[in-house]
Amino acid sequence: MIIGLIAAALTTGALFPQLIKVWKTKSTKDISTGMFALTSAGVFVWFIYGMYVNNFPIIIANSLAFVQAIVILVFKIKYK
């Protein structure tokens, strides 16, 4: 469980610096729309899987990562 929580924190935290940079600079020109769309889809499926197996670290990490990825995609559209 501890290893899962550490992995969850690291992977969820990986999107945070990008989110902050986009928010501050209002620039998304170097961000791949396809990559963030696939990331959003992937973490959403991981979230569903976490719900299916009732695994707290998977549920929390992927729900937070999904929100971050979607916000970045929204910024990508908004700041185009």
Decide if pLDDT at 3 tops 90. no
Tens-place pLDDT, residues 33-70: 898 899 899 999 999 999 999 998 899 899 999 999 99
Per-domain boundaries in the chain: 2-78
- Tabulate helix, strand, coil % of the chain (nearest 5): 85, 0, 15
Question: What is residue 45's predicted lDDT score, i.e. its pLDDT?
Answer: 96
Angstrom distances, CA of residue 59 to CA of 51, 64, 65: 6, 9, 10
Question: What is residue 66's predicted lDDT score, i.e. its pLDDT?
Answer: 94
Tens-place pLDDT, residues 9-37: 898 898 999 999 999 999 988 888 898 89
Decide if pLDDT at 1 tops 80. no
Which numeric CATH code is attached to 2-78? 1.20.1280.290
